[in-house]
């Protein structure tokens, strides 16, 4: 399960001791819960009530879309395939106050259109149609959703239907941010193809029977993500949601200058214009994130090999033992330089992947970050003469270091 990062920015102080921020500078959200995450690293930058269980409302549809996109990626479905519309999926058979794509009897609709109907107008009818494309009953599709949530490590997230209209669907801001990160990793094309599309028109002439082609009854609906519509810099997804029991929810993502953040806002007041509160919380959280943090991706080139003793060779290649991509304060990271610190002496045999020291990254203000270093290949023990000769050299090397005068302290 995910670590407990606390409810404020200072969950990061152990990593970034130089953060020049105070608790008062962290944004104050009116919504019940909120999370800001660096999409590249998974670092949580802000958490408010991150583990409070709240119905996701139509954010549920992102899991429905995810399962469909997985099936497409596996070659078991295709965007252009025509999906049969059972009576259960028709718009007239959805619960009261449902958001709709306006599916109806006799229509001809592709899986790709259904996914757009989920992403843009947030059609509950589209959710049922997609569920029945991949399972014989909606309940069985919900089983797929819950199994996928468990496999992703989302142990507080659970679903009872695929559209989000039920208050019995449950998630947390923290878990849903992790889900969005995995969703974007697996389906990066979804931002362009689904979540940043501004409008959706349905049904079109191609969707209706011949008798209706002169008057298909096309309805134009706008994306419910108003930050997308207003052109908030970098926003290109993901999804909004509302039911009375949850209030207004939104999962947002935005990218600027190589840094992408994910913001999840849950439980803005279920009152008149509560959606404005939700959207303002999203703006506030993303703006604060871009003002104070960025993703760094150092490009170091090949690291120098490390000296190794008593092996078949004298040097072993070394590699970073972890990703070099990390989240840093916005003012850090100019004029990057680095050095290696090897634990000496290294002696063979030494398997590939053995820890050998640290890579230290510096910027204009001093040390910025340390990364583990490991061997890039296995170094077997050398022959008897090689080991004897290296032992002699090691003895005199260590003796010389021991007797070397120390500079005065202070």
Helices (H), 236-373: 274-292
Maximum mean pLDDT: which of 25-34, 85-94, 378-387, 388-397:
85-94
Q: Look at residue 369 and tell me whether its pLDDT is greater than 60.
A: yes
pLDDT bracket for residue 397 (50, 70, 90): confident
Q: How confident is the model at residue 247 (pLDDT cuts 50, 70, 90)?
A: very high
pLDDT band at 409 (very low <50, low <70, confident <90, very high): very low
For 382, the token pair is 């050398």
Q: What is the pLDDT of residues 229-240, one digit of tens each?
A: 888 999 999 999
Integer Cα distance of 109 and 83 in angstroms = 6
Percent of the chain surpassing pLDDT 90:
83
Q: Which of 160, 136, 123, 139 is nearest to 86 (CA)?
A: 136
pLDDT in tens, 276-301: 999 999 999 999 999 999 999 999 88
More confident residue, 146 or 212: 146
Question: Which residue from 114, 101, 119 is spatially nearest to 220, judged by alpha carbons?
Answer: 101
Topology (CATH) of 9-295: Beta-lactamase (3.40.710)
Strands 247-256, 235-243: pairing is antiparallel
- Strand locations in 15-128, DSSP E? 33-38, 44-48, 82-83, 109-110
Radius of gyration of the chain (CA): 27
Contact by Cβ (8 Å): 282, 265: yes
Active site residues: 58, 61, 122
User: φ and ψ at 46, to 5 degrees?
Assistant: -150, 135
Tell which wins on pLDDT, 324 or 2. 324
pLDDT at 336 over 90: yes
Average pLDDT of the residues of the chain:
91
Any bridge partners for residue 293, and if so which?
A: 329
119-128 pLDDT, tens digit each: 999 999 999 9
| Span 86-98, average pLDDT | 96
> In this structure, what token pair is assigned to residue 176?
């849903």
| pLDDT tens digit sequence for 152-205 | 999 999 999 999 999 999 999 999 999 999 999 999 999 999 999 999 999 999
pTM over cut 0.75: yes
Q: For 154-157, which contacts have Cβ atoms below 8 Å and span 24 or more sequence positions?
A: 154/178, 154/179, 155/1, 156/51, 156/53, 157/56
Residue whose C-alpha is closest to residue 332's, from 301, 362, 371: 362
What is residue 58's predicted lDDT score, i.e. its pLDDT?
98
What is the reported pLDDT for 401? Answer: 58
CB-based contacts of 146: which residues, under 8 Å, 6+ apart?
A: 158, 159
Token readout for 188 is 């990066």
Domain boundaries, the chain: 9-295, 306-402
pLDDT class of 402 with cuts at 50, 70, 90:
low
Q: What is the pLDDT of residues 135-152, one digit of tens each?
A: 999 999 999 999 999 999
Distance (Å, rounded) from C-alpha 244 to C-alpha 181?
Answer: 27
16 pLDDT more than 60 = no
Residue 407 pLDDT > 90: no
Please report, in angstroms and rounded to a whole number, the separation of the first and last CA atoms in the chain.
47
pLDDT the model gives residue 11: 44
Token digits for 347? 């002696």
- Distance between CA atoms of 140 and 400, rounded to whole angstroms? 73
Rounded Cα distance, 332 and 200, in Å: 42
CB burial class (10 A; 0-12, 13-18, 19+) of residue 239?
A: buried
pLDDT over 70 (residue 15): no
Q: Is the dihedral of CA 394, 398, 404, 408 positive or negative?
A: positive
Residue that is written with structure tokens 């259904």 in the block: 114
Q: 101 with 61: CB under 8 angstroms?
A: no
Q: Which of 15-24, 90-99, 309-318 has the lowest mean pLDDT?
A: 15-24
CATH 3.40.30.10 fits 306-402, yes or no: no
Confidence of residue 227 (pLDDT cuts 50, 70, 90): very high
Ranking 7-11, 60-64, 354-358, 397-401 by mean pLDDT, the lowest is 7-11
Question: Tokens for 312?
Answer: 């078949």
Phi, psi of 397, deg, nearest 5? -65, -45
Over 360-398, what HEC string results? Answer: EEEECCEEEEEEEEEECCCECECCHHHHHHHHHHHHHHH
């Amino acid at each position: 399960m995910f670590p407990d990062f606390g409810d404020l920015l200072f969950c990061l102080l152990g990593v970034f001791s130089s953060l020049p921020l105070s608790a008062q500078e962290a944004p104050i959200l009116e919504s019940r819960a909120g999370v800001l995450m660096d999409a590249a690293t998974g670092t949580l930058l802000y958490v408010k009530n991150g583990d409070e269980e709240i119905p996701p409302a139509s954010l549920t549809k992102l899991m429905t879309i995810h399962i469909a996109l997985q099936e497409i990626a596996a070659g078991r479905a295709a965007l252009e395939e025509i999906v049969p519309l059972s009576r259960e999926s028709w718009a007239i058979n959805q619960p009261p106050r449902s958001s709709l794509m306006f599916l109806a009897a006799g229509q001809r609709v592709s899986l790709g259109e259904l996914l757009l109907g989920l992403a843009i107008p947030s059609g509950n009818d589209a959710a049922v149609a997609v569920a029945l494309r991949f399972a014989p009953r909606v309940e069985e599709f919900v089983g797929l959703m819950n199994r996928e949530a468990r496999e992703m490590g989302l142990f507080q997230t659970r679903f009872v239907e695929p559209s989000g209209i039920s208050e019995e669907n449950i998630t947390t801001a923290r878990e849903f941010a992790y889900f969005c990160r995995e969703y974007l990793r697996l389906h990066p094309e979804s931002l362009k193809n689904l979540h940043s599309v501004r409008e959706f028109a349905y049904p079109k002439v191609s969707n209706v029977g011949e008798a209706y082609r002169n008057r298909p009854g096309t309805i134009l609906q706008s994306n419910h993500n108003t930050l997308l519509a207003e052109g908030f810099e970098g926003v290109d997804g993901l999804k909004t949601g509302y039911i009375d029991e949850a209030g207004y929810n939104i999962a947002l993502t935005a990218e600027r200058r190589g840094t992408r953040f994910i913001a999840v806002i849950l439980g803005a007041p279920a009152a008149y214009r509560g959606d404005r509160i939700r959207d303002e919380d999203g703006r506030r959280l993303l703006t604060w994130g871009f003002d104070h943090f960025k993703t760094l991706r150092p490009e170091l080139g090949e690291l120098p090999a490390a000296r190794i003793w008593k092996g078949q060779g004298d040097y072993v290649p070394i590699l970073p033992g972890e990703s070099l991509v990390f989240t840093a304060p916005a003012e850090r990271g100019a004029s990057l330089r680095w050095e290696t610190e090897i634990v000496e002496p290294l002696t063979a045999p030494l398997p590939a992947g053995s820890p050998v020291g640290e890579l230290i990254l510096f910027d204009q203000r001093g040390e910025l970050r340390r990364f583990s270093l490991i061997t890039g290949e296995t170094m077997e023990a050398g022959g008897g003469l090689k080991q004897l000769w290296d032992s002699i050299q090691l003895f005199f090397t260590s003796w010389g270091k021991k007797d070397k005068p120390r500079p005065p302290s202070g």
